[in-house]
């Protein structure tokens, strides 16, 4: 199965119940296994500009590069998957582009965005993120976040200063310690995970997980996994019913089959033949 046949992807975004405009941007393309979600911040429309730059730059650049390179191959200098390098480099490019726009145009000063992106290839997913946009995974009964926020609160949790339960009532939510476009450079955190058939991946902006408890997000995906578009609209509805204080965006990726890259010479030949 190629990655396009193996993945079912849906997405929805909503400005929420309070905000007048939507500063989130989303992109997905099953044909190259790429999903990107960004949550912008900044006055006027600067937030939309920052998230929009990130999503369009990452999607066009990575798609273009994938025409000539294979994500599962190893990079000759770093030894990492090319897919990992592509994500990291393009977050950096988006960062440079936003940073220079905000330096040159006063109305964009200080704009930035969080981002979470996934590139699916060879039964794996490379996940890059900056800030507090998240990726979760539902595998069987287990629902968990596979990204860890770059936020003050997460650092407090990691440092043992505050328990996860107490963190829910913290007044220090929404303080991110990393964002795209704020400084001249940014380090995206990139990890690679094995993918199993049946997994559902959720990418979301904090408008979802600030309004809806993880358990409820997980239960919703579990119950509605057979109807992905309904699951996506249900999640948005839950966030809005709970107050919808922020823009809320979700991308859902369901793994319907294996998408391993053929490895033997015969398999390679056959796959070439099929094309």
Partner 1 sequence: MAAKLILSMDGVVLQEYVLDKERMTIGRKAHNNIVIDNLAVSGEHAAIVTILNDSFLEDLDSTNGVMVNGAAVKKHFLQNNDVVEIGKYKLKYLNEQQGQATAADFEKTMVLRKPVKTQQPNTPQADAPGAGSAAHMQTQVNIPPVSAKHEATTGRFDTAAPQAVAAQPAATLAPAASPAPAPGAQAQSGTAVPTAAVQILSGPNSGKELDLVKNLTTLGKPGVQVAVLTRRPHGYFITHVEGTNRPTVNGKALDEHPHQLNDHDIIELAGIKMEFYFK
Contacts of partner 1 in 212-231 (CB under 8 A): 212-213, 216, 219-220, 223-224, 226-227, 230
197 near partner 1, judged by CB under 8 A: no
Cα separation of 204 and 23, whole Å? 13
Cα separation of 144 and 198, whole Å? 15
Rounded to 5°, angle at Cα 254 from 253 and 260: 100
Closest CA to 117 of 99, 103, 134: 134
189 near partner 1, judged by CB under 8 A: yes
Window of 35-43, 116-124, 137-145, 259-267 that interacts with partner 1 by CB under 8 A:
35-43
**Minimum CB–partner distance for residue 145 and partner 1 (Å):** 15
How many CB atoms are located within 10 Å of the residue 171 CB? 6
Residue placing its CB nearer to partner 1 in the complex, 32 or 211: 211
Would you give the DSSP letter of residue 270?
H
Rounded to 5°, angle at Cα 144 from 60 and 30: 25
Window of 76-84, 120-128, 139-147, 204-212 that interacts with partner 1 by CB under 8 A:
204-212
Paired with 204 in beta bridges are 134, 250
Per CB under 8 A, contacts with partner 1 among 157-186 are: 158-159, 161-163, 166, 168-179, 182-185
| 3-class SS of residue 38 | strand
Cα separation of 11 and 117, whole Å? 13
Cα separation of 202 and 205, whole Å? 10
Per CB under 8 A, contacts with partner 1 among 74-133 are: 106-107, 109-112, 114, 131-132
Residue placing its CB nearer to partner 1 in the complex, 60 or 100: 100
Window of 60-68, 79-87, 154-162, 250-258 that interacts with partner 1 by CB under 8 A:
154-162
Closest CA to 209 of 218, 222, 197, 200: 218
Question: Which of residues 43, 64, 144, 258 is near partner 1 by CB under 8 A?
Answer: 43
Per CB under 8 A, contacts with partner 1 among 235-254 are: 237-238, 241-243, 245-246
**Minimum CB–partner distance for residue 247 and partner 1 (Å):** 9
**Minimum CB–partner distance for residue 236 and partner 1 (Å):** 12
């Amino acid at each position: 199965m190629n990655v396009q046949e193996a993945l079912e992807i849906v997405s929805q975004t909503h400005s929420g119940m309070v905000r007048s405009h939507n500063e989130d941007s989303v992109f997905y393309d099953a044909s190259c296994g790429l999903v990107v979600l960004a949550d912008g911040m900044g006055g006027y429309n600067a937030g939309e500009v920052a998230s929009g730059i990130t999503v369009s730059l990452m999607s066009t650049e990575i798609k273009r590069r994938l025409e000539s390179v294979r994500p599962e191959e190893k990079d000759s200098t770093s030894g990492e998957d090319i897919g990992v390098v592509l994500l990291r480099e393009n977050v950096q490019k988006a960062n440079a582009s936003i940073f220079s726009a905000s330096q040159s145009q006063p109305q964009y000063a200080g704009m930035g965005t969080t981002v979470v992106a996934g590139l699916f290839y060879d039964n794996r997913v490379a996940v890059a993120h900056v800030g507090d946009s998240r990726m979760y995974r539902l595998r069987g009964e287990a629902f968990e976040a596979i990204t860890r926020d770059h936020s003050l609160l997460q650092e407090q949790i990691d440092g043992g200063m505050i328990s996860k339960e107490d963190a829910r009532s913290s007044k220090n939510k929404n303080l991110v310690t990393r964002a795209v476009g704020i400084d001249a450079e940014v380090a995206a955190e990139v990890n690679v995970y094995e993918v199993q058939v049946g997994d559902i991946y959720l990418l979301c902006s904090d408008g979802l997980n600030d309004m809806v408890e993880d358990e409820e997000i997980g239960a919703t995906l579990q119950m509605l996994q057979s109807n992905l578009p309904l699951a996506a609209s249900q999640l948005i509805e839950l966030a809005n019913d709970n107050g919808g204080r922020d823009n809320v965006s979700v991308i859902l990726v369901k793994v319907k089959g294996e998408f391993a890259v053929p490895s033997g010479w015969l398999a390679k030949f056959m796959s070439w033949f099929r094309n």
